[in-house]
Amino acid sequence: MGDDANEEDLALMARVALDDEDAFRTLVEKHQHAVVGTVAKMTNNSSESEDIAQQVFIRLWKSSKRYKPTAKFTTFLFTITRNLVFNATRKKSRRKEHSLEEQEDDWHRTVEDTTPASRPDESLVNAELQKNVDHAIAQLPEKQRLAIILRRYEKMPYDEIASVLELSIPAVKSQLFRARGALREALEPYLKD
């Protein structure tokens, strides 16, 4: 995201601090897809992702009067997202809410395959590969998973990922290196053909 987009977000956030509901609605519309997508990829649960995303925007509204633009707006937004997702995954692991099968059933619904396929069998192969990629990402430790999602799907630069994860840039690169290695290993059987 460029500087102009960040300036627009900062201006909207300043209006939100003055209880401007239209500015808030604009921020939500602008960022909801990225937030819901990131949460869905992190939680493996499409219904839970909408609830958490809603909580992200509620927190954004509530914190608007205290917000100080010390970093890009998206860094602030994804830091809220990170906190809520990490809290939800910790609660889920403590409660053991869902069986692995239920998580896998929900996971395939969270990522849509937008790859155009020229043949039906190619479409099946792509869908199967995407399902395996999604499953492999879901098995990563949460910081590695979020780093991969922010870099790959949100095209976030290293410095912004570092701010969101509260890590140094070399630590982010290390997280990404380890995550990519784990993904390569997990997907090796599917990539041989």
Among residues of the chain, what percentage have pLDDT more than 70? 82
Distance CA 23, CA 44 (A): 31
Q: What is the pTM of this model?
A: 0.76
Q: What is the pLDDT of residue 134?
A: 85
Q: What is the pLDDT of residue 126?
A: 75
Q: What is the pLDDT of residue 185?
A: 92
Q: Exposure of 159 by Cβ count < 10 A (0-12 exposed, 13-18 middle, 19+ buried)?
A: middle
Q: What is the pLDDT of residue 2?
A: 66
Residue type, 159: D
- Looking at residue 19, what DSSP letter applies? T
> Domain 3-111+118-191, what fold?
Arc Repressor Mutant, subunit A (1.10.10)
Count the neighbouring beta carbons within 10 Å of the beta carbon of residue 62.
Answer: 9
Sorting pLDDT into bands at 50, 70 and 90, what band is 114?
very low
| Average pLDDT in the chain | 85
Distance CA 83, CA 142 (A): 11
Any idea where the domains of the chain sit in the sequence? 3-111+118-191
Q: What is the DSSP code string of 26-45? A: HHHHHHHHHHHHHHHHHHS-
